Amino acid sequence: MVVSLVVLAVQVIVAVGILWVIGEFIIRGIINPAARRAGVEQGQLHIFIEGIRFIVIVLSALAVIRIAGLTSDFATLTVSGILAVSISLALQATLSNVFSGILLILDNTLRVNDSIEIGGTKGQVVKIGLRTSWVKTEEGSVVIISNSQIANGPLTNHTASERLMKKL
């Protein structure tokens, strides 16, 4: 019994390790150099890399379940579906912020160093993350604003007038 648990643990560690190494190789060896050559903005690259890491985590979890012999193919799909629905309901607000962040970056509505005004906060964007964006006010404070608030609320972007007018 102990030997089979040790073998199972080794198999799990090896599977997760292999998936992690593959994911990091894809990120560091392929995506980062290609993104630099293509001039991809740092915010877009960050979101893409976080997505790849999330996929690696999900694949690792499925590999662990499979190696442990807990499921058949149908059960794996069923558990995956139930897990996805449960997670999406539990993280509805967070997912809203994440998708808003992705849309803000892909739509070029907001970039680092843009001078913005939203909900009484005026300052310079210092970071655009998956869930939140950070704005440094004129007083030197950093205000953290949820991306869904930025995407849904009235936003004045003083820096990006020309860039945004081209979209009209």
Q: What is the pLDDT of residue 122?
A: 93
Residue 71's pLDDT is: 61
% of the chain at pLDDT higher than 90 = 11
Q: Is pLDDT of 134 > 90?
A: yes
Q: 128 and 112 in contact (C-beta within 8 Å)? A: yes
Tens of pLDDT, residues 43-81: 777 877 877 788 777 777 777 777 777 666 666 677 778
Domain range summary for the chain, segments of one domain joined by +: 2-90, 105-165
Mean pLDDT computed over 109-115: 87
pLDDT reported for residue 167? 64
Per the model's pLDDT, the better-predicted residue between 96 and 122 turns out to be 122
Can you tell me the distance from the alpha carbon of 102 to that of 109, in angstroms, rounded to the nearest whole number?
11
Mean per-residue pLDDT, 30-40: 77
pLDDT score recorded for residue 131: 82
Q: What is the pLDDT of residues 81-103, one digit of tens each?
A: 877 787 777 778 777 888 888 88
pLDDT for res 137: 93
**In angstroms, what CA-CA distances link 85 with 82, 88, 147?**
5, 5, 22
Fold of 105-165: SH3 type barrels. (2.30.30)
Average pLDDT of the chain to the nearest whole number: 80
Beta strands in the chain (DSSP E): 115-118, 121-128, 132-137, 142-146, 155-157
